[in-house]
Structure 1
Amino acid sequence: MSSSKSTGTAPARGVGGVSGVEVPFTLSATPARVVVLVVLFLLGALVGVAGALLQGGWFPGGLLLALLAAAGLFHGGARLTGARSGALAPAAGWLVAVILLTTSRPEGDFVFGAGVGSYLFLLGGMAVAVMCATLGLSQQPPASTARLGK
């Protein structure tokens, strides 16, 4: 096990119980990784604020553009980090910004109106975040263990 920590990989069981397959650690909390996740969180908040303003300003096109920007950031974060945390960090920032913008101020001002576009932005953004965090990040097994006939 000590040799696994020094190389940054851990032994795992392959297809059919074959051992000895090396799987890289992608969840280690290095300072660089924490910085990347914090930056992704802040970018998610920025995309949430920009999307909230854009979707209300140019209704059908602005809504699509805001959701595409969110999807691009969530998927890009997942690809950048190679883990689900890369999609969850900007999604959390997006959600915090959007939730804070839905609350009304004491003066009665608010960013989101009670309309179809606002609800589509909220629900669509959450659906995009879930899709980007759960789809497309599974790693393929090595070619030697992928064939069952060997």
Structure 2
Amino acid sequence: MSISDRLADLGITLPQAMAPVANYVPVSITGNLVTVSGQLPAMEGKVAVTGKLGATVALEEGQHAARLCLINVLAQLQAALPGGLDSITKVVRLGGFISCTPDFTQHAVVMNGASDLAVTVFGEAGRHARSTVGVASLPLDAAVEVEGLFYIG
């Protein structure tokens, strides 16, 4: 089953890849490695989940935000790769940044919103290494940001 078919089965339509908000490229390809810059939980061009985990954002909202971030990572990949998402043979690594209060400790649970979707979409090839950290703030007051490293070929 193609990645597009899996996304369709999940009811996910990839949005148009968002333009960078600063001086960087959204995707960098070096050999068989593809790095996607951090993506925010945006829908229809604006951040859909703002605030801090442990304060104004509930755990489930954070997981939803991480899932949205990964959908935007996938949109960047779809736009950048000539073969689209089907050219990805391995999700190597995801990195998650969780905007949170100092006492919040469930970063990994939030990031599972992205990781679970990666495994659902890519199957075993979606199992990846991961780092997840809490931060004081993120661009545009986003609750979560997710970046990724992928193998193609």
TM category (shorter chain) comes to: 0.3 to 0.5
Which is strand-richer, 1 or 2? 2
Which is helix-richer, 1 or 2? 1
Indicate the structure whose relative CO is greater, using CA pairs within 8 Å and at least 6 residues apart.
Answer: 2
The TM-score with structure 2 as length reference comes to 0.35
Which of 1 and 2 has greater Rg? 1
